Each structure stands twice: as structure tokens, then as C-alpha cells.
Chain A
Amino acid sequence: DPKIIQKPKYLVAVTGSEKILICEQYLGHNAMYWYRQSAKKPLEFMFSYSYQKLMDNQTASSRFQPQSSKKNHLDLQITALKPDDSATYFCASSQVRQGSEVFFGKGTRLTVV
């Protein structure tokens, strides 16, 4: 029974289009994250949110915008998609305190053609 739900599981998008990756967690956590995994960069930290506020942004491009409409949601909007954006995007969550175990969702595999 997955506690971190990511939708969709697979996504194919056309270059230049916009997509939203959905993430919901039911672990009662107040910190949520996005990571990206590709052949070029095995596991890359993108964003962290704490109590629905952006804490850290390691993504250079403004094409990536996290959106937190509820405290257990952290969606990722990606605009002007490029083939280089093809990757698996993992949502994760944890308690806010330092050193808390981070739990990962199953990922959304995005392919940009």
C-alpha cells in the first residue's frame, strides 16, 4: 500500500509542451522533496519544501516549478519541455527534523520526444 503516490507512472510529452507531475504523501510528513534520476546524473536533488514553503532550490531552470496546494501535496510543473528533461522524477518526504529518514515514491518516468 504505497504511502507516497506519484501520478502518472509513465508520461510521454512533446518538446515544448507543459506537464504536471503529481505527488501526494500519506505519511504525515511536513517536508517534501523532488529528485531527478537520469543516465547523466544518477540522483539529483531538485527542491525541498517544509510546511508548504520552498526551503531549497537546486534547479537552475525556472521551467521547473513546484506547487503545494495542500500540506501533503507537492506537484512539479515543467514548462517548455526539452528532450534533456527525460528522466525519472522521484517525490520524497520526511519529518522536518534533521536526520529523519526520507521515503521515496515510485517515480514518474518522463520521456520528451
Chain B
Amino acid sequence: GEKVEQHQSTLSVREGDSAVINCTYTDTASSYFPWYKQEAGKSLHFVIDIRSNVDRKQSQRLTVLLDKKAKRFSLHITATQPEDSAIYFCAASISNRIFFGDGTQLVVKP
């Protein structure tokens, strides 16, 4: 089955700096890659996604890059704000099954 890895368990940045969260996946059949944000004690909220027919997608301060050859994708957050602090989960989807990474705790320090 698909295995998604997030190698950074924690990422700490200063407010205003950029943050990059990296993920890898194993199954070349994965074609949809969503990202979710989870604030402390709360549920998961969708933030951005990318499909395998493109290699870049931007939405305001968020950009997702996809390298299908390397089976790697990443979330870039520019001009970070304290409210960006949360756990971010990357995921890969095959046939409506979504497999999540273990999450990266992003801490934005004022």
C-alpha cells in the first residue's frame, strides 16, 4: 500500500519567515495530494491540494510543489503568522483512499 512520510516532526520559524514542509510517497498510482491543518484539540481542515497533472499550485501564501519523478511534494508557506501554528498533514490519495503522513508541528514564533 501507499506510504507517505513527513520527515520533519517539528518546524520552528520566526513570524514573517517562510516555512517548507516536505513529504515523500511510494506509490506511483497516487494522483491527488491534499494538505490538512490541525490546530490543538481540533479536527482537520483542508488547506490546499495538488493533482498529478500539474507540478505547482499556489493559493495566497501557500504553494504546493510536486515532483512526480522523485515522488516528493512540499508545502511552502510565506510570510508566516502566529495563526499558522498547527500540525500540518500531507497526504496521497489512490481511489478515494487517503494516506496521511505523520504530521509536522509548525511553530511560528512572534
A interface, CB within 8 angstroms of B? 31, 33, 35, 42-43, 45, 48, 50, 55-56, 58, 90, 94, 96, 98-107
Query: Is there contact, CB below 8 Å, between B102 and A105?
Result: no
Give A58 to B42 CA distance when docked, in angstroms: 24
B32, B34, B89: the one within 8 Å of A43 (CB): B89
Query: Is there contact, CB below 8 Å, between A99 and B31?
Result: yes
Give 9 nearest A-B pairs by CB, closest first: A99-B32, A43-B100, A104-B44, A42-B102, A106-B43, A104-B43, A42-B103, A101-B46, A56-B97
Query: Is there contact, CB below 8 Å, between B100 and A42?
Result: yes
Query: What residues of chain B lie closer than 8 Å to A106, measured between beta carbons?
Result: 42-43
Determine if B60 is an interface residue (Cβ-Cβ < 8 Å): no
- Size category, B interface: 20 to 34
B interface, CB within 8 angstroms of A? 1, 31-32, 34, 36, 42-46, 49, 51, 89, 93, 95-103
In this complex, the member of A42, A50, A90, A106 whose beta carbon has the largest number of chain B beta carbons within 10 angstroms is A42
Query: What residues of chain B lie closer than 8 Å to A31, measured between beta carbons?
Result: 96
Query: Is there contact, CB below 8 Å, between A103 and B51?
Result: no
A45 to chain B, nearest CB (A): 6
